[in-house]
Structure 1
Amino acid sequence: MSSSWFVFTTIIFPLVAVMAAIVSPQVEARAFFVFGDSLVDSGNNNYLATTARADSPPYGVDYPTHRPTGRFSNGLNLPDIISERIGSESTLPYLNPDLRGQKLLVGANFASAGIGILNDTGIQFANIIRIFRQFEYFQDYQRRITEIVGKEQAQRLVNQALVLITLGGNDFVNNYFLVPFSARSRQFSLPDYCRYLISEYRKILLRLYELGGRRVLVTGTGPLGCVPSELAMRSRNGECVPEIQQAAAIFNPLLVQLIQQLNSQLGSTVFIAANAFSTNMDFISNPQRFGFVTSKVACCGQGPYNGLGLCTRLSNLCPNRNIYAFWDGFHPSERANRLIVQQFMIGSTKYMNPMNLSTIMEMDSRT
């Protein structure tokens, strides 16, 4: 690369970006909305009387402020990294009082740790924001944004937004498999339970469409039987727990099938299936290839594999979070989250069906 080209790009490209920011109204920036559970909660549960919270150290040890934020991470979580990649600032939790005025144009995070597809998932946590309550907050958000930019602009902002929804994992680990002979496991065989979850998820996704979602990333469940918390409770020799892995193996293909059916029914690619199982399984099955020393032991925790309990000041804490695939017993480290988002951005149809986020962004920029 010539020095003159370098000088040109370093001077002109930032100038173009600045001019674009001046000329384009702020409302035209793509908003980002987030729904789901602790994998994507950015701090809503901090404002709730619940045990499903990540508001004490060492959570947030690698966040820019080095303080806990309510994210179940050592640093940034999936929505933060997606925001980075689409050139936006992180969305604030909807319950955060700072989410007002121009901040609303960025979008909002409605997610709440502990919830699932089903209303009885996570009942042990109490006072969490179940998915249809998250949608009620979304309606409230739309009323607030309408007051700022008007009805037509508000509708455009919502329709053109990127949406992320992450549900399902808790319906297994904090419901069906929570205790031996749980109510749901007595009611359903595992295949029937998965089909029931999909039938309920269908209602959720259609409701999200009714509320204006037009580009929705829907993550399947990760390899639930391989996370440190399940290894600590159920694994005999450090191998992934077969029956919980089977749950993901049944549920995820059914979810992809549902998404294909919905897109066909709606006549548009509204929903995009993000294969969280494969993205996680890549570094779980071969951690060294991705620069991790282990995918079995959590960085922060106690007991076998550091998989028991929440991460607290009394927990074992690894000195280098970048070489651990899991931050705590259930949640990936920031670095693992970055690998996951990388596949969201550029992954093949194995990871993103029918297209990845880069393709979506390019397509939508032309409309």
Structure 2
Amino acid sequence: MGTITNKLIVTVSILFRVLSICCAQNIAAFFVFGDSLVEAGNNFYIDTVAKPVFPNGIDFPKGTPSGRYTNSRIITDVIGEELGFKDYAPPFLAPNITGDMILKGVNYASSGAGILQATGSIFGERICMDRQLDYFGKTRQDIISKIGAPAAQALLRNSLYFLSIGANDVLFGEYETLDRNSYTNEVVSNFKSQIIRLYNMDARKFAVAGVSKVGSIPFEIDTHICAQNCAESLNNFAKLLNSKLKSLVEDLTNSLAGSILIYVDNYAVTEEIINNSRSYGFENVDYACCEVIGRHGGLIPCMEVSRVCSDRKKYMFWDPFHPTESAILIAAKYILDGGTEYVSPINIRQLANS
């Protein structure tokens, strides 16, 4: 009788532990996958040239370098705060990620990474999406070890999985393929398998962020002599991949029982900000705030020798590739609470409450 009572006490204590996590916000934990747009510092721990060194994170409230490719917070930091999380999802590879920290979520994103394993190979080591899922599998096992399988499954099924994908597959695919239709089919096929892997590891609530208007970033503007024609070609490439990703999201919601997948239209969001830049307070929408050389500061990544603009709020782009926190705050509002022209079939706040 004493053994049964002890087991009951342990079970109840575990349930209270999970409930205290779950009830702090509408979702139990926040897991982030993707590329440099959502990286939180994993690349500091691998052999790569793509590391977000200072002045990246120059305005970050928790110290620099922040591990983020922007002047302060990334989009998932802002979304997490809005959903009630007090701390940002930490990078998986950081050595101090221990104990109960993982019960609130982990960030697996890596600069240079893509859906395809070969994407971003010029940077050296990077954590491609397949490996990010392997790392999540390790986190899942750690969670099971901490709170037991039933409680772990409850936590994981009530967590949010944010996947920022495809930008690098488009940027590098531009130079690697002539058959864009076949190439994007390969990317989407791989991503489908990756989503199913996550689903089989108890993920149920997915936010899939598509490719932004990449033809308009300072890097592309500065590196192409064909100017507008090249920008349109690259943007059309992004739209082709996005259309297939959106269709996949719709199909998987119907085929994966109990799952909810939403599509974040980053292209529409960035286009809205660019087209109405003045109303958002931006004076520069095609020039990097952190720059070295280039007509638009787009030829060299942000690094120690870079010049940094004094008023970051007037710039849409922080560096040749990534937005400033000011642009991120605007984008987050559309992703969290926007209509179906920006995120569908529901927005992230609705997904969190579902």
- CA gap of 1:23–1:283, structure 2 versus 1, over 3 A, is closer
Distance 1:75 1:49 in 2: 24
Distance 1:22 1:127 in 2: 38
Q: State the shift of 1:191 in Å.
A: 2.4
SS of the residue corresponding to residue 71 of structure 1 reads: coil
Residue 111 of structure 1 corresponds to 109
CA contact (8 A) 1:226 1:239 kept: no
CA contact (8 A) 2:165 2:209 kept: yes
Distance 1:111 1:293 in 2: 30
Say which of 324, 338, 358 aligns to 2:349: 358
- CA gap of 1:346–1:235, structure 2 versus 1, over 3 A, is farther
Residue 316 of structure 1 corresponds to 307
- Residues paired across the two proteins, number: 334
Q: State the shift of 1:24 in Å.
A: 5.1
SS of the residue corresponding to residue 287 of structure 2 reads: coil
SS of the residue corresponding to residue 288 of structure 2 reads: coil
Distance 2:101 2:170 in 1: 35
Distance 1:84 1:42 in 2: 15
Which residue identity is paired with 2:68? R
Any residues of structure 2 matched to 1:1-367 within 5 Å, and which? 25-26=20-21, 28-29=23-24, 30-54=28-52, 56-88=53-85, 89-173=87-171, 175-177=172-174, 182=175, 184-185=176-177, 188-234=178-224, 241-302=231-292, 303-363=294-354
Distance 2:56 2:228 in 1: 25
Distance 2:43 2:23 in 1: 30
Which residue identity is paired with 2:202? G
Distance 1:126 1:221 in 2: 23
Stretches of structure 2 that go unaligned for 5 or more consecutive residues are 1-15
Distance 1:212 1:250 in 2: 30
Q: State the shift of 1:74 in Å.
A: 0.4
Q: State the shift of 1:40 in Å.
A: 0.6
Q: State the shift of 1:22 in Å.
A: 11
Point out which structure has higher relative CO (alpha carbons under 8 A, 6+ apart): 2
TM-score by length of 1: 0.87
Q: State the shift of 1:320 in Å.
A: 0.9
Q: State the shift of 1:78 in Å.
A: 1.1
String of CA shifts for 1:61-117, please: whole Å, max 9, x gaps. Answer: 110144112111100001111111101021100111221112111110011110111
CA contact (8 A) 1:235 1:241 kept: no
TM-score by length of 2: 0.90
Distance 2:271 2:230 in 1: 11
Distance 2:196 2:146 in 1: 27
Percent of residue pairs identical = 32
Stretches of structure 1 that go unaligned for 5 or more consecutive residues are 1-20
Which residue identity is paired with 1:98? N
CA contact (8 A) 1:226 1:240 kept: no
Aligned-CA RMSD value: 1.9
Q: More displaced, 251-260 or 27-36?
A: 27-36
Which residue identity is paired with 1:155? Q
Which residue identity is paired with 1:133? R
SS of the residue corresponding to residue 222 of structure 1 reads: coil
